[in-house]
């Protein structure tokens, strides 16, 4: 949380209900103003104003507070410091760095502790890019700071500020509080600029205009990239019951997506899951940069044992960080795990406020709050004189009780997101991971991304995907017959379809997160799928020549295709080229057919 204004309005507590605190004598206090509650100065935020009374939601444990204790309005909204140092850091829901809090209070977070998001003592090497006398507008780049081994922080003119650059610091070392530039506005006022800027987390950062969904966010996961792609700047949801793999799916997207910056929000999830992220990310090598994955990540941890009200703020803290790096021209991927826990925080606060409950006790404004969050995504032309394109893509995990997708959080999420990756309990029980149900899931970006896949992967790739999905759908229909009469009752032509669909399911869609197959490039995805479809076409030709399916299954090509996912780089190319030759020989060589017979 950023520094607060001092000397605000002082009132006193009149009522306490869990994280909700009512105070009187607060006339003049504004909505969403930060308050300091009680003698310990607990951090809160105004969520209701009536007369000289306010209600604050407290982001810390309120046990021990009593009526009559003071409440101070700080005069500032809940804000976050944006600047070098956000990358590689881990924060709580209100942007306090957890390592710094640990140094102050030990393993348990003490109440009322103040810690700024950025290190005010550390010096950063600033390299100027603008020059004195330049006419600048909000978003223009003044200089750069090497924030991590991967990310270059572009120091920008704050939004909505424009004028003449009258002073600019030279190449050197500066803290985030030192003056690096002065801009004189047309009115004659002078504004100093530092390496950091404060921004209210509930206010979206401006941009010039939104762009279409024409570039996919590649994830290295075959089920997503091939069948249900998400665009850069897009929105997606991963709903699923307990044990279906929501968190692992989120981890995979965070690890391997080709966004330049990753913001991961652990919102109300178990602490051991965030521990896994913290332990694993620094050890993982990013396939796009060759550096540690943590060098492009910012983490927000508001686990299930932390105060419930802070979950509500954690979502806005994360998306504000994402917008900041978007404005620099980066593609940002935001993972929220999970929005259901965030919605539960809304429900608890709403209940404490005695608001009229909506469906299943959630507040009536649940849908609008979800929409407001996801609307802060998009691929945009950033503000500034020089045109830059950046994006924020958001994927939220949803935890419907009992895996019931008809519950309010899932339904309201589906109204605003454009990709639906439905996790299946049945697939998870069969140990098929990722347990994405290909017959229930969908993407609304498929049509707009088709041209990109044709130009950047292969002209035939979209047709291969269509053929593969058709086979999976036909398999579903045939399996209903098999359950009634058994597989032996099917004609050979339909058994060929079942075998091809089996290869797609087991050899292509199954992808272990804890193996060398954890990441799969688009080129490899295309070649694997092409080999399966070519073998399917070959099976149909052999069937027309009188060869039985049981005889075809003796072909070595089936074993090679089944193992293609495990081969890396050059070995994969060799195996792939060999299996293509083998399949082609089966098509043209009478000797190969006779050998099968």
Q: Is the pLDDT of residue 137 over 70?
A: yes
% of the chain surpassing 70 pLDDT = 97
Mutual orientation of helices 446-456 and 461-485 as an angle, nearest 10°?
120
Same domain, 586 and 467: yes
pLDDT the model gives residue 594? 43
Q: Is the pLDDT of residue 51 over 60?
A: yes
Domain count of the chain? 4
Mean per-residue pLDDT over the chain, rounded? 91
Same domain, 424 and 479: no
Same domain, 336 and 482: no
pLDDT-based confidence at residue 452 (cuts at 50, 70, 90): very high
Same domain, 382 and 484: no
Residue 290 lies in a domain: yes
CATH code: domain of residue 258: 3.40.50.300
CATH code: domain of residue 65: 2.40.30.20
pLDDT the model gives residue 7? 52
pLDDT digits (tens, 9 = 90+) for 1-14: 554 444 578 999 99
Residue 335 lies in a domain: yes
CATH code: domain of residue 129: 2.40.50.100
Q: Is the pLDDT of residue 190 over 90?
A: yes
Residue 344 lies in a domain: yes
**Confidence (pTM):** 0.93
Mean pLDDT of 123-145: 96
> Coil, strand, or helix at residue 145?
strand
Q: Which of 264, 233, 260 is nearest to 251 (CA)?
A: 264
pLDDT digits (tens, 9 = 90+) for 516-536: 899 999 999 999 999 999 999
CATH code: domain of residue 492: 1.10.1140.10
Same domain, 276 and 177: no
| HEC assignment per residue over 93-144 | CCCCEHHHHHHHHCCCCCCCCCCCCCCCCCCEEEEECCCCCCEECCCCEEEE
Mean pLDDT of 312-334: 95
Q: How far apart are alpha carbons 562 and 29 in whole angstroms?
A: 65
pLDDT-based confidence at residue 278 (cuts at 50, 70, 90): confident
pLDDT the model gives residue 2? 54
Same domain, 191 and 241: no
Same domain, 191 and 215: no
| HEC assignment per residue over 419-430 | EECCECHHHHHC
pLDDT the model gives residue 587? 54
Residue 153 lies in a domain: yes
Same domain, 172 and 227: no
pLDDT the model gives residue 1? 57
pLDDT the model gives residue 209? 95
Residue 448 lies in a domain: no
% of the chain surpassing 90 pLDDT = 73
Residue 358 lies in a domain: yes
| Residue 554, CA atoms < 13 Å, CB-side half-sphere | 9
Rank 356-360, 415-419, 477-481 by mean pLDDT and report only the highest: 415-419
pLDDT digits (tens, 9 = 90+) for 503-521: 999 999 999 998 989 999 9
Same domain, 272 and 381: yes
Same domain, 394 and 420: yes
Same domain, 480 and 589: yes
DSSP 391-446: EEEEEEEE--GGG-TTSHHHHHHHTT-SEE--B-HHHHHTT-SS-B-TTT-EES-H
Residue 181 lies in a domain: yes
Same domain, 68 and 156: no
Range of the domain at 44: 10-77
DSSP 19-69: TEEEEES-TTPPTTEEEEETTTTEEEEEEEEETTEEEEEESS--TT--TT-
Q: Work out the number of other CB atoms within 10 angstroms of the CB of residue 212.
A: 9
**Residue 172: beta bridge partners?**
126
Residue 91 lies in a domain: no
Residue 312 makes CB contacts below 8 A (sequence gap 6+) with 57, 93, 342, 345, 346, 349
């Amino acid at each position: 949380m950023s520094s607060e204004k001092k000397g605000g309005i002082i009132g006193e507590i009149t009522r306490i209900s869990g994280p909700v605190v009512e105070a009187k004598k607060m006339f003049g206090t504004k909505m969403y103003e930060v308050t300091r509650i009680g003698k310990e100065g607990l951090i809160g935020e105004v969520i209701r104003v009536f007369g000289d009374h306010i209600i604050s939601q407290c982001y810390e444990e309120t046990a021990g507070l009593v009526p009559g204790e003071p409440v101070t309005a700080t005069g500032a909204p809940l804000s976050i410091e944006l600047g070098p140092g956000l990358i590689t850091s881990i924060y709580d829901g209100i942007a306090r760095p957890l390592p710094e809090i640990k140094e102050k209070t030990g393993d348990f977070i003490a109440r009322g502790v103040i810690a700024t998001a950025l290190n005010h003592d550390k010096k950063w090497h600033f390299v100027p890019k603008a020059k004195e006398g330049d006419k600048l507008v909000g978003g223009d780049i003044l200089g750069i700071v090497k924030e991590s081994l991967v990310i270059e922080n572009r120091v920008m003119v704050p939004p909505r500020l424009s004028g003449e650059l009258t002073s600019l610091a030279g190449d050197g070392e500066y803290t985030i509080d030192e003056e690096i530039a002065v801009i004189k506005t047309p009115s004659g006022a002078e504004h100093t600029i530092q390496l950091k800027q404060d921004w209210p987390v509930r206010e979206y950062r401006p941009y010039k205009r939104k762009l279409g969904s024409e570039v996919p966010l590649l994830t290295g996961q075959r089920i997503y990239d091939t069948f249900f792609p998400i665009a850069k700047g897009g929105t997606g949801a991963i709903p699923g019951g307990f044990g279906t793999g929501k968190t692992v799916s989120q981890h995979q997207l965070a690890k391997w997506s080709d966004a330049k910056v990753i913001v991961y929000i652990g919102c109300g999830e178990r602490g051991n899951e965030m521990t896994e992220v913290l332990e694993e990310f620094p050890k993982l090598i990013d396939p796009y940069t060759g550096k540690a994955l943590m060098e492009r990540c910012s983490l927000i941890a508001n686990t299930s044992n932390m105060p419930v009200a802070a979950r509500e703020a954690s979502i806005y803290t994360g998306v504000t960080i994402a917008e900041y790096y978007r404005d620099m021209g980066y593609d940002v991927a935001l993972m929220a795990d999970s929005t259901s826990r965030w919605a539960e925080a809304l429900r608890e606060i709403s209940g404490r406020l005695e608001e009229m409950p909506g469906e299943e006790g959630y507040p009536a404004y649940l849908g609008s709050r979800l929409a407001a969050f996801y609307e802060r995504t998009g691929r945009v032309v950033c503000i500034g004189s020089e045109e830059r394109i950046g994006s924020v893509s958001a994927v939220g995990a949803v935890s419907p009780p009992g895996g019931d997708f008809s519950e309010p959080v899932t339904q309201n999420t589906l109204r605003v997101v454009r990709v639906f990756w439905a996790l299946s309990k049945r697939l998870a029980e069969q140990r098929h991971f990722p347990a994405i149900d290909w017959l229930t899931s969908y993407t609304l970006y498929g049509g707009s991304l088709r041209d990109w896949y044709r130009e950047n992967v292969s002209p035939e790739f979209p047709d291969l995907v269509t053929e593969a999905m058709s086979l999976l759908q036909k398999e579903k229909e045939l399996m209903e017959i098999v359950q009634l009469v058994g597989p032996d009752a099917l004609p050979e032509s339909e058994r060929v379809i079942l075998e091809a669909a089996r290869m797609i399911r087991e050899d292509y869609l199954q992808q272990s997160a804890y193996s060398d197959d954890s990441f799969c490039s688009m080129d490899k995805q295309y070649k694997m799928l092409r080999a399966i479809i070519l073998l399917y076409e070959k099976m149909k030709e052999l069937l027309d020549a009188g060869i039985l399916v049981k005889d075809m299954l003796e072909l070595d090509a089936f074993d090679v295709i089944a193992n293609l996912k495990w081969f890396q780089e050059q070995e994969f190319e060799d195996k792939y080229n060999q299996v293509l030759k083998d399949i082609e020989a089966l098509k043209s060589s009478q000797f190969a057919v006779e050998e099968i017979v």
